[in-house]
Copies of this chain bind each other. A is one copy, B any other.
Amino acid sequence: MSEDSEPAASDSDESAAADDLTHTDDDGSVQMVDVGDKPDSERRAVAAGTIHLQPATVDAIRTDEIGKGDVLATARIGAIQAVKHTWETIPMCHQIPITNVDCEFSVGDDRIDLTVAVETTGKTGCEMEALEGVTTGLNVVWDMCKAVEKDDDGQYPDTGIEDVRVVEKIKRER
Protein backbone atom coordinates (compact mmCIF):
# COMPACT_ATOMS: atom_id res chain seq x y z
CA MET A 1 0.00 0.00 0.00
CA SER A 2 1.54 3.25 -1.08
CA GLU A 3 1.37 6.17 1.26
CA ASP A 4 -0.19 8.40 -1.36
CA SER A 5 -3.25 6.23 -1.61
CA GLU A 6 -6.75 7.55 -2.06
CA PRO A 7 -8.40 9.73 0.56
CA ALA A 8 -9.43 7.97 3.73
CA ALA A 9 -12.36 5.74 2.88
CA SER A 10 -15.19 5.41 5.29
CA ASP A 11 -14.71 2.32 7.37
CA SER A 12 -18.36 1.54 6.90
CA ASP A 13 -18.24 -2.09 7.93
CA GLU A 14 -17.30 -0.98 11.42
CA SER A 15 -19.94 1.70 11.75
CA ALA A 16 -20.88 2.82 15.20
CA ALA A 17 -24.11 0.93 15.56
CA ALA A 18 -22.87 -2.35 14.16
CA ASP A 19 -19.62 -2.34 16.09
CA ASP A 20 -21.35 -1.39 19.29
CA LEU A 21 -23.73 -4.30 18.94
CA THR A 22 -21.17 -6.90 18.02
CA HIS A 23 -18.95 -5.71 20.86
CA THR A 24 -21.80 -6.44 23.26
CA ASP A 25 -23.69 -9.63 23.94
CA ASP A 26 -27.22 -9.82 25.33
CA ASP A 27 -25.99 -9.08 28.83
CA GLY A 28 -24.03 -6.04 27.77
CA SER A 29 -20.79 -7.87 28.37
CA VAL A 30 -17.54 -7.18 26.60
CA GLN A 31 -16.83 -9.22 23.49
CA MET A 32 -14.42 -9.09 20.61
CA VAL A 33 -15.90 -7.89 17.31
CA ASP A 34 -16.70 -10.83 15.01
CA VAL A 35 -14.53 -10.21 11.95
CA GLY A 36 -15.16 -13.58 10.32
CA ASP A 37 -17.15 -12.12 7.45
CA LYS A 38 -14.89 -9.17 6.78
CA PRO A 39 -12.64 -9.30 3.71
CA ASP A 40 -8.89 -8.98 3.99
CA SER A 41 -8.09 -5.37 3.13
CA GLU A 42 -5.00 -3.22 2.86
CA ARG A 43 -5.21 -1.00 5.90
CA ARG A 44 -3.00 1.77 7.21
CA ALA A 45 -3.20 3.84 10.33
CA VAL A 46 -0.94 6.63 11.53
CA ALA A 47 -0.83 7.89 15.10
CA ALA A 48 1.31 10.61 16.65
CA GLY A 49 2.14 12.09 20.02
CA THR A 50 4.58 14.29 21.88
CA ILE A 51 6.74 14.06 24.98
CA HIS A 52 7.77 17.31 26.67
CA LEU A 53 11.25 17.32 28.17
CA GLN A 54 13.63 19.87 29.59
CA PRO A 55 15.65 21.67 26.88
CA ALA A 56 18.84 20.36 28.51
CA THR A 57 17.57 16.81 28.11
CA VAL A 58 16.74 17.31 24.46
CA ASP A 59 20.18 18.82 23.96
CA ALA A 60 21.73 15.77 25.59
CA ILE A 61 19.78 13.53 23.24
CA ARG A 62 20.91 15.59 20.25
CA THR A 63 24.56 15.64 21.25
CA ASP A 64 24.54 12.00 22.23
CA GLU A 65 25.31 12.66 25.86
CA ILE A 66 22.52 10.28 26.83
CA GLY A 67 23.53 7.02 25.27
CA LYS A 68 24.76 8.82 22.13
CA GLY A 69 21.50 8.78 20.21
CA ASP A 70 20.43 5.41 21.56
CA VAL A 71 17.42 7.03 23.27
CA LEU A 72 15.65 7.17 19.94
CA ALA A 73 17.00 3.80 18.74
CA THR A 74 15.67 2.15 21.90
CA ALA A 75 12.35 3.98 21.66
CA ARG A 76 12.03 2.95 18.02
CA ILE A 77 12.52 -0.73 18.87
CA GLY A 78 10.17 -0.46 21.84
CA ALA A 79 7.52 1.12 19.62
CA ILE A 80 7.82 -1.58 16.94
CA GLN A 81 7.58 -4.34 19.53
CA ALA A 82 4.53 -2.66 21.08
CA VAL A 83 2.83 -2.55 17.68
CA LYS A 84 3.34 -6.29 17.28
CA HIS A 85 2.06 -7.02 20.81
CA THR A 86 -1.13 -4.93 20.63
CA TRP A 87 -3.34 -8.03 20.32
CA GLU A 88 -2.34 -9.04 23.84
CA THR A 89 -2.05 -5.58 25.40
CA ILE A 90 -5.50 -4.34 24.35
CA PRO A 91 -7.84 -7.09 25.56
CA MET A 92 -10.43 -6.98 22.75
CA CYS A 93 -7.97 -6.59 19.83
CA HIS A 94 -7.51 -9.31 17.23
CA GLN A 95 -4.11 -10.54 16.13
CA ILE A 96 -3.56 -9.19 12.61
CA PRO A 97 -0.58 -9.63 10.25
CA ILE A 98 1.49 -6.43 10.48
CA THR A 99 3.24 -5.89 7.14
CA ASN A 100 4.99 -2.61 7.87
CA VAL A 101 5.81 -0.25 10.75
CA ASP A 102 7.39 3.14 10.21
CA CYS A 103 8.52 5.31 13.14
CA GLU A 104 9.61 8.91 12.75
CA PHE A 105 10.93 11.15 15.50
CA SER A 106 11.01 14.92 15.27
CA VAL A 107 13.21 16.61 17.87
CA GLY A 108 12.18 20.13 18.99
CA ASP A 109 13.63 22.46 21.60
CA ASP A 110 11.80 20.99 24.56
CA ARG A 111 9.91 18.11 23.00
CA ILE A 112 10.12 15.04 20.83
CA ASP A 113 7.29 14.15 18.48
CA LEU A 114 6.79 10.52 17.46
CA THR A 115 4.74 9.40 14.47
CA VAL A 116 4.06 5.69 13.98
CA ALA A 117 2.53 4.34 10.76
CA VAL A 118 1.29 0.75 10.71
CA GLU A 119 0.12 -1.28 7.72
CA THR A 120 -1.70 -4.61 7.67
CA THR A 121 -3.61 -6.80 5.24
CA GLY A 122 -6.02 -8.08 7.86
CA LYS A 123 -9.74 -8.04 8.59
CA THR A 124 -9.71 -5.13 11.00
CA GLY A 125 -8.01 -1.76 11.31
CA CYS A 126 -4.67 -1.08 12.92
CA GLU A 127 -5.19 2.27 14.69
CA MET A 128 -4.78 0.63 18.09
CA GLU A 129 -1.44 -0.79 16.92
CA ALA A 130 -0.32 2.69 15.88
CA LEU A 131 -1.50 4.19 19.19
CA GLU A 132 0.29 1.50 21.19
CA GLY A 133 3.45 2.22 19.18
CA VAL A 134 3.24 5.92 19.98
CA THR A 135 2.49 5.67 23.69
CA THR A 136 5.06 2.94 24.28
CA GLY A 137 7.71 4.70 22.21
CA LEU A 138 7.20 7.91 24.21
CA ASN A 139 7.28 5.96 27.47
CA VAL A 140 10.62 4.47 26.40
CA VAL A 141 11.98 7.98 25.78
CA TRP A 142 10.84 8.86 29.32
CA ASP A 143 12.53 5.76 30.73
CA MET A 144 15.80 6.51 28.96
CA CYS A 145 15.83 10.12 30.17
CA LYS A 146 14.60 9.51 33.72
CA ALA A 147 17.94 10.32 35.32
CA VAL A 148 18.22 13.80 33.79
CA GLU A 149 14.52 14.70 33.89
CA LYS A 150 14.07 14.02 37.61
CA ASP A 151 14.36 16.99 39.96
CA ASP A 152 16.10 16.89 43.33
CA ASP A 153 13.03 15.34 44.94
CA GLY A 154 12.82 12.55 42.38
CA GLN A 155 9.76 14.09 40.71
CA TYR A 156 9.13 14.90 37.02
CA PRO A 157 7.66 18.43 36.95
CA ASP A 158 8.72 19.06 33.33
CA THR A 159 7.97 15.72 31.73
CA GLY A 160 4.67 14.88 30.11
CA ILE A 161 3.09 13.10 27.16
CA GLU A 162 0.59 15.13 25.16
CA ASP A 163 -1.47 15.17 22.00
CA VAL A 164 -1.69 11.44 21.28
CA ARG A 165 -4.05 11.15 18.32
CA VAL A 166 -4.85 9.16 15.18
CA VAL A 167 -3.59 11.20 12.25
CA GLU A 168 -4.86 9.06 9.41
CA LYS A 169 -6.77 5.83 8.85
CA ILE A 170 -7.14 4.25 5.41
CA LYS A 171 -8.71 1.07 4.10
CA ARG A 172 -8.43 -0.15 0.53
CA GLU A 173 -10.15 -3.25 -0.80
CA ARG A 174 -7.73 -5.49 -2.58
Could you list which residues of chain A lie within 8 angstroms of chain B, going by C-beta atoms? 1, 7-12, 14-20, 23-25, 27-32, 34-37, 42, 49, 64-70, 72-74, 76-78, 80-82, 84-85, 87-104, 119, 121-123, 125, 127-128, 131-132, 135-136, 138-140, 142-144, 146-148, 150, 152-156, 159-166, 168-169, 171
Say yes or no: B169 contacts A119, CB within 8 Å: no
Contacts A81-B91, A92-B144; A160 near B154 (Cβ below 8 A):
no
Contacts A67-B30, A84-B88, A144-B92; A135 near B139 (Cβ below 8 A):
yes
Which of B14, B84, B91, B99 is A80 in contact with, Cβ under 8 Å? B91
Could you list 8 further interchain pairs (A-B, Cβ under 8 angstroms) beyond the known A84-B95, A135-B164?
Answer: A9-B153, A10-B154, A19-B146, A23-B147, A35-B100, A73-B74, A81-B89, A156-B165
Closest B residue to A72 by CB, please name it: B29
Number of copies: 6
In the A-B complex, the 8 residue pairs with the smallest Cβ-Cβ separation, listed nearest first, are A19-B147, A28-B68, A11-B154, A161-B164, A135-B135, A36-B99, A34-B100, A30-B70
Say yes or no: A82 contacts B89, CB within 8 Å: yes
Which of B7, B19, B98, B103 is A94 in contact with, Cβ under 8 Å? B98
With A and B bound together, what is the CA distance between A85 and B104 in angstroms?
A: 25
